[in-house]
Amino acid sequence: MSAPKTAPETVPGGPASAFRIAMGTGGWLVAAFLALPILVVIPVSLTDTSYIGLPKDGLSLQHYESYFTSARWLGGTAASILVGLAVALISTVLGAAFSIGCWFLGNRAATIARWVLIVPILVPPVVQSLGFYRFWVTLGLIDTWTGVILAHTLLALPYVSISVFAALANLDPKLPQAARSLGASVWRTVWEVVVPAARPGMITGAVFAFIVSFDEIVSVLFITVRRVETLPKLIWEGIQDNIDPTIAVVATVLVLVTLVLAGAVAVRRT
Amino acid sequence: MQTDKTRYWLLAAPALAVMIVFYIWPLVNIWAISMTEPALGFGNYVKMTESQAVQTSFVITFRVAALTTVICVLLGYICAYSITNVIRSARPLLIAMVLLPFWVSVLIRSFAWIVLLGRSGLVNDAMRDIGLIDAPMRLMHNEFGVVLAMVHVMLPFAVLPMMANMRGIDRAYTEAARGLGASEFTAFRMVYLPQTLPGVASGALLVFVLSLGFYITPALLGGGRVLMVSEYITYQIQEFLNWGLGTAISVALLVATALVLIVAARFVNLRSALLERS
């Protein structure tokens, strides 16, 4: 269906050819491969069986009931949201200050500092989690919320610093210079000239930071024991036990929330 | 002006200090553990290089990561090309379909694949119901399942840099080649493709590096049969409390990742691939 559809939409450059049709069809197939498997959790969440599978004799909301009445699942969900908000706040403040400082400095040392801040993107999650575990034991942070928020803040900082710095690429260095020569202090220049320019990057960074924290599982597996339970940890344990369709409910809720939020952002932009 | 510079450093310092104290230092400590537990010296590294299981694990890891990277680049290229150059009115929908998995947690995506590929999963059930197979096929707990799910997780990382690169390409060159009589495919191969190689390289690098250290999907879809290095390390630490060997393998994995980046730096602009990635 998609192949003929691409024909009248060709970009200047010639009529529909076998090549364009193949690429267009391929593009749709790849996008379908990306999007569709995720949606499988929706029918499974509505199953009337007590195991993971498609509905047998009809749809049922029984697993939704067990999610929305389970103190453990709701507690984990609330905890992950709160941790994510804390991480978004802390890492955005730290990361924005960092990127603004580096942007002003603009020298080799600042570039090196920026590389240091993105190291967590490149280090394998298990390796960094071993590091966290040993150090958190020394600090007495194992199985504490502080420990989780600290670890997640470190993992979120690269994303905040990258997106704030990207936003500052559009700021003309002459503007803060002008503010300074008109007598504004460094802090006032930062607050009234640079921060407004960085704001889009800070918002993107905060969203990234929240998502990084909300989805993070590997470090949580290492630095928490029993007292601290986040949503990913409950999902992880649920998948290991393997039978409970409640995970499909959680997955459906998360996918739907994602779709709604993405849709809302798209509508606001247009 | 000197005091201004100090103030700028004051802005940058808190994040940098937190990163060095709570992240870089613990990493250095991992190396220290590998050299001191249970005894001072290179004992753990000797044990590591002599272990058949560790070697196998590294071979599996590099094979899975390479396979994932190749497939991601091929599929990602087609997708990025058609979003940039072929599809017009449905472009936002296509972009949304590519981005959706980005925003859904890896855990959920792996769960979806388990639901699909399991012994009594949806794919096996459907194929049995229409009579294609008698007994369930093994679609996961092997490299096939791991690579399939990993491609799904990594594909957006390949598509996005390629899309950014293709958006910056002036179509005039391809059109000139067409005007001079090249067929559409020749113009693509000789003129367009070479211009997209920087995007391909940064996509491939990102996917390969992330795949090397990937834990969640291989652990869930591999079912203990596709033991990639990250899972092997976890195994050593959690089952055997063997911190010496576990940290030594961690250091080896880190060094391997660093080597990949150093080699890649000859072909990829690491600055734009990593530091200035938008």
Residues near B73 by Cβ (< 8 Å), separated by ≥ 6? Answer: B158, B200, B203, B204, B207
A169 with A259, same domain: the answer is: no
Residue A222 lies in a domain: no
Same domain, A208 and A235: no
pLDDT digits (tens, 9 = 90+) for A200-234: 999 999 999 999 999 999 999 999 999 999 999 99
Query: Using an 8 Å Cβ cutoff, are B110 and B154 in contact?
Result: no
Q: Are residues A158 and A261 in the same domain?
A: no
pLDDT for A148 equals 98
Pick among 3.30.390.30, 1.10.1740.10, 1.10.3720.10, 3.30.70.3460: CATH of B51-275: 1.10.3720.10
Task: Judge whether B235 and B65 are in contact, CB under 8 Å.
Answer: no
| Alpha carbon distance A61, B245 (integer Å) | 48
pLDDT, tens digit, 9 for 90 and up, residues A82-124: 999 999 999 999 999 999 999 999 899 999 999 999 999 999 9
Assigned token pair, B270: 């690491």
The predicted-structure confidence for B185-212, as pLDDT tens digits, reads as follows: 889 999 999 999 999 999 999 999 999 9
- A258 and B4 within 8 Å at the Cβ level: the answer is no
Token digits of residue B272: 């734009």
Same structural domain for residues A81 and A204? yes
All residues of chain B having their beta carbon less than 8 Å from the beta carbon of residue A126 are 213, 215, 230-231, 233-234, 250
Residue A92 lies in a domain: yes
**B254 and A239 in contact by Cβ < 8 A?**
no
Residues of chain A with pLDDT > 90, as a percent, come to: 72
The answer as to whether A256 is a domain residue is yes
Residue-range domain boundaries for chain B: 1-36, 51-275
- Which positions in chain A touch B79 (Cβ < 8 Å)? 26-27, 30-31
Q: Are residues A178 and A58 in the same domain?
A: no
> Are residue A81 and residue A200 in the same domain, yes or no?
yes
Task: Measure the CA–CA gap between B17 and B13, rounded to whole angstroms.
Answer: 6
Whether A90 and A179 map to the same domain: the answer is yes
Interface of A with B in 112-171 (CB under 8 A): 113-128, 130-132, 134-135, 150, 153-154, 157, 161-163, 165-166, 169
Q: Does A140 lie in the same domain as A108?
A: yes
Q: Per the structure block, which two tokens stand in for A39?
A: 């949606």
Tell me: the pLDDT tens digits for B17-43? Answer: 999 999 999 999 999 999 998 889 899
Task: Name the A residues in 61-90 with CB < 8 Å from any B CB.
Answer: none
Distance of CA A163 to the CA centre of its chain: 13
A173-182: per-residue pLDDT in tens? 999 999 989 9
Q: Which residues of A touch B120 (CB under 8 A)?
A: 53
A90 in the same domain as A126: yes
Is B196 in contact with B180 (CB distance < 8 Å)? no
CB-based contact B249:B48 (threshold 8 Å): yes
pLDDT of residue A144: 97
Cα–Cα distance measured from residue B105 to residue B220, given in angstroms and rounded to the nearest whole number: 14
A235 → chain B, closest CA residue: B107
Contact A37/B109, CB-based, under 8 Å? yes
Contacts of B26 in chain A (CB under 8 A): 128, 131-132, 134-135
Residue A130: give the domain boundaries.
75-214
Please check whether residue A223 lies inside any domain of the structure. Answer: no
pLDDT in tens, A15-36: 678 888 999 999 999 999 999 9
Are B246 and A130 a contacting pair, CB within 8 Å? yes
Q: Mutating which of B100, B123, B193 best tests the A interface, going by the most A Cβ atoms within 10 A?
A: B100
Domain presence at residue A11: yes
For residues A31 and A58, membership in a common domain is answered with no
Burial class (CB in 10 A: 0-12, 13-18, 19+), A52: buried
Angle at alpha carbon of residue A55, lines to A53 and A60, rounded to 5°? 120
Cβ–Cβ contact A207 with B under 8 A: no
The pLDDT, as a whole number, for residue A133 is 97
ipTM: 0.91
Distance, CA of A74 to CA of A85 (rounded, Å): 17
Long-range CB contacts (within 8 A, 24+) of A80-84: A80/A213, A80/A214, A80/A230, A80/A231, A80/A232, A81/A214, A83/A145, A83/A148, A83/A149, A83/A152, A83/A213, A83/A214, A83/A230, A84/A152, A84/A209, A84/A210, A84/A211, A84/A213, A84/A214
Total domains in the fold of chain A: 3
Q: Which one-letter amino acid corresponds to residue B57?
A: S
Cα B254 from Cα A171, distance rounded (Å): 36
Q: Is residue A209 part of a domain?
A: yes
Interface test with B, best of A112, A122, A217 (most B CBs within 10 A): A122
Does residue A1 surpass a pLDDT of 50?
Answer: no
Shared-domain flag, residues A240 and A268? yes
Interface size between A and B, measured as CB pairs under 8 A: 278
CB-nearest to B22 from A41, A52, A150 is A150
Domain presence at residue A225: no
Alpha-helix runs per DSSP H in chain A: 2-6, 18-39, 41-45, 62-68, 71-105, 108-117, 119-122, 125-139, 145-168, 174-181, 186-189, 195-215, 218-223, 231-241, 246-269
- CA-angle at B103, arms to B98 and B107, nearest 5°: 110
Query: Is the domain of A107 the same as that of A52?
Result: no
Our measurement of the distance from residue A100's CA atom to the centroid of its chain's CA atoms, rounded to an integer in Å, reads 22
My answer on whether omega of the bond before B38 falls inside 30° of 0, hence cis, is: yes
Q: Are B260 and B65 in contact (CB under 8 A)?
A: no
> How close B172 gets to chain A, by Cα (Å)?
9
